[in-house]
Amino acid sequence: MKASTTYQDQAVLVLGLGKSGFNAAKLLLKLGAIVTVNDGKEQEDNPQVAQLRELGATVITGSHPLALFERNFAYLFKNPGIRYDNPMVAEAIARKIPVLTEPELAYEVSEAQWVSVTGSNGKTTTTTLITLMLDENRTQGHAYAAGNIGIPLSAVAQKVTAADVMVTELSSFQLLGTTTVKPKIAVLTNIYEAHLDYHGSRANYVAAKMRLIQNQTADDFFVVNWDLPELRELSRQTKAQVVPFSRLGNSEAGAYVKDGQLCFKGEVIMPVTDINVPGDHNIENALAAIAAAKLMDQSNDAIIDVLTTFTGVKHRMQFVTSYEGRRFYNDSKATNMEATEVALKSFKQPIVLLAGGLDRGFTFEPLLPLLKEHVKAIILYGETKQLLAQTAREAGIPVIKIVDNLTKAVPEAYAASEAGDVVLLSPACASWDQFQTFEERGDVFIKAVEQITD
């Protein structure tokens, strides 16, 4: 871990007691900061509260008392999901206190180079593929995945050495709180319409994503999806070397598909058909990962081994089981319509779709043609169930069931399916109406499937 005196004897407020807040607070204490942790939910029974207090932090839960600012904080580190109109965050901004997120802290102490991945969809799969590729047959050090993938950055950053590499998945929420993060390789998978309730506008959302490249120089690399004209235009903003990837063959300057082969700068790597996970989106994820791995001098053999054996990320088009001719897939990480569109395009078999979740004020017309083409039955729950039902009726789906929750949806989906069908959880919505996280939602789905198949 790099030595840092930035936070020595500085009063720091950590807002939110999630994974990132807890680990950031511990690291700040190690760096000599005077740490106050605040969470709006009552957390006195949380063992992490006792642990932080034992380490010397002040922990206040159950409310957001603005009087805390009498402590003259030098910095505020917030949980990425906490909005900027939160009263504590707004007060910090009014007082001109820097509002940061965990990646900023982790980057400052990390001895390892960073390969960082962002985008609306495909971040987790691409991050996982790059990590596996860079760790394959490695003779010195390791590749570590961290960040939005569910592993706290500040915990990993403390243990990595200069021989290692950190492959960091960074969300727009995290990137908004960064000022010095400078990945050696930045990867942008795509940008679609997402999180506008948080960012306020698409322009703000895009600007947050582009903070990934704000500190890169001509010695760094920007791997970007060349099949999206908007991203080609955004690549003009970078000082780094642009390395395109293209499933449609729009550029051969980086990673691309040609004559059914995955290629990199004129070199054939392997056939597209040998990728072990289905869907055009996974071809794009593979291309992005190939570009990053080749830029880090990884061998073709390592890349081929990973792409031919990788079975998918949990909660992202995860194959759960096969039972009585049905195949069950957990795509709980599909928290927006674009992700569900990708999932529906991935199958040729008839689909029984489970969908619904947090109502962010959207309608679901963009799903209409794919629902018509792929879905034979749909089981709906959550805040958006009626909105989705309206779209399903317009699509002419013959079987539309509305239930209270996901646990009840799974047996209904099974009853509506037959041998040869795919039973797919791909909610097209965030999980926060009935679940704490999309991971919890996916685990509930898997458990409900097991109750049927067992």
Mark the binding-site residues for ATP, compressed into ranges.
Answer: 119-125
Taking each helix axis from N to C end, the angle separating 19-30 and 102-109, rounded to the nearest 10 degrees, works out to 40
Q: Name the strand (E) or helix (H) holding 155.
A: helix 153-157
Q: Cα separation of 150 and 146, whole Å?
A: 7
Tokens 């001895």 locate to 111
SS3 169: strand
Beta bridge partners of 243: 223
Q: Cα separation of 85 and 198, whole Å?
A: 9
CA-based nearest residue to 279, from 347, 374, 354: 347
Residue 384 in tokens: 């958006």
Phi/psi of residue 271, each to 5°? -70, 145
Beta strands, E only, 301-374: 318-323, 326-330, 351-355
Phi/psi of residue 97, each to 5°? -85, 125
Q: Specify binding-site residues.
A: 119-125
Instruction: List Cα–Cα distances, 142 to 132, 133, 167, in angstroms.
Output: 10, 11, 10
Q: Name the strand (E) or helix (H) holding 66.
A: none
Q: Cα separation of 369 and 169, whole Å?
A: 31
SS3 408: helix
Dihedral sign, CA of 164, 189, 334, 78? positive
